[in-house]
A and B are shown apart, each in its own frame.
Chain A
Amino acid sequence: MQNPLCSLTACPFGAEECPICAEVQRLQGECERLRELSHTDALTGLFNRRYLMAALDQERERTRRTGLPTSLIMVDLDHFKRVNDSYGHQAGDEALKWASQVWRKNLRRIDILCRYGGEEFAVILPGTRLTAAVRAAKRLQNSLEKSPVTLLGRNVLLTASFGVDTYLHTEELTVRAFIKRTDRYLLEAKIKGRNQVCCRKPEKARQTMEVTIDERAALYGGSTLPEQGAAPKK
Chain B
Amino acid sequence: MAEISRHKSLKPVMACLSSGKGGVGKTSLTVNLAFALAQKGLRVLVVDGDLGLANVDVLLGLQVKTTIQDVLDRDADPLEVVVYLEPRLGVLPASSGVPDLANLGPEDHQQLGSILQPIAQHFDFILVDTAAGIGASVLWFNTFVDYNILVLTPDPTAMTDAYALIKVLSRDYHRKTFHLLLNQVKSEQEARQVYEHLARVASHFLNLNLEYLGSVPQDASVSKGVRHQKPFIKVAPQSKAALAIFSQAERLRGWAAQKLPRKTVGEAGG
Contacts and interface: CB of A to CB of B under 8 A. Distances in A.
Contact of B156 (A67, A215, A220, A233): A220
Name the interface size band of chain B: 20 to 34
B168 A208 contact: yes
A15 interface: no
Interface in A69-107: none
A184 interface: no
B164 interface: yes
A169 interface: yes
Nearest to A233: B205
Interface residues of A, number: 26
Interface string A203-226: 000011111101110111000011
A228 interface: yes
Contact of A211 (B107, B160, B197): B160
B207 interface: yes
Contacts of A234: 207
Nearest to B201: A218
Interface string A147-191: 000000000000000000000011000000000000000000000
Contacts of A66: 105-107
B172 A209 contact: yes
4 tightest A-B CB contacts, nearest first: A67-B105, A220-B156, A66-B105, A232-B207
Nearest to A65: B107
B134 interface: yes
Contact of B201 (A64, A68, A170, A219): A219
Interface string B152-185: 0000100110011001100110000000000000
B106 A232 contact: no
Contacts of B136: 67
Contact of A225 (B104, B172, B200, B207): B200
B267 to A, nearest CB: 15
B204 interface: yes
Given A219-B198, A225-B204, A208 B159 contact: no
Contacts of B117: none
A209 B164 CA distance: 8
Nearest to B203: A228
B16 to A, nearest CB: 17
B156 A219 contact: yes
Nearest to B204: A225
A64 B168 contact: no
B160 A228 contact: no
Residue of A64, A212, A216, A219 with highest tally of chain B CB at under 10 A: A219
Contact of A65 (B106, B198, B204, B206): B106
Nearest to A62: B105
B262 to A, nearest CB: 24
Interface string B195-216: 0011011011111000000000
B203 A215 contact: no
Nearest to A211: B164
A67 to B, nearest CB: 4
B205 A218 contact: yes
Given A215-B163, A220-B160, A228 B105 contact: no
A211 B168 CA distance: 10
A67 B135 CA distance: 12
Given A210-B164, A226-B204, A232-B207, A219 B159 contact: yes
B106 A64 contact: yes
B231 to A, nearest CB: 32
A228 B200 contact: yes
B160 A216 contact: yes
B201 A67 contact: no
A62 to B, nearest CB: 9
B168 A209 contact: yes
Contacts of B134: 208
Contact of A232 (B107, B198, B205): B205
Nearest to B133: A208
A196 B217 CA distance: 57
A68 B205 contact: no
Nearest to B205: A215
Contacts of B163: 211, 215, 219
A219 B206 CA distance: 13
Contacts of B156: 219-220
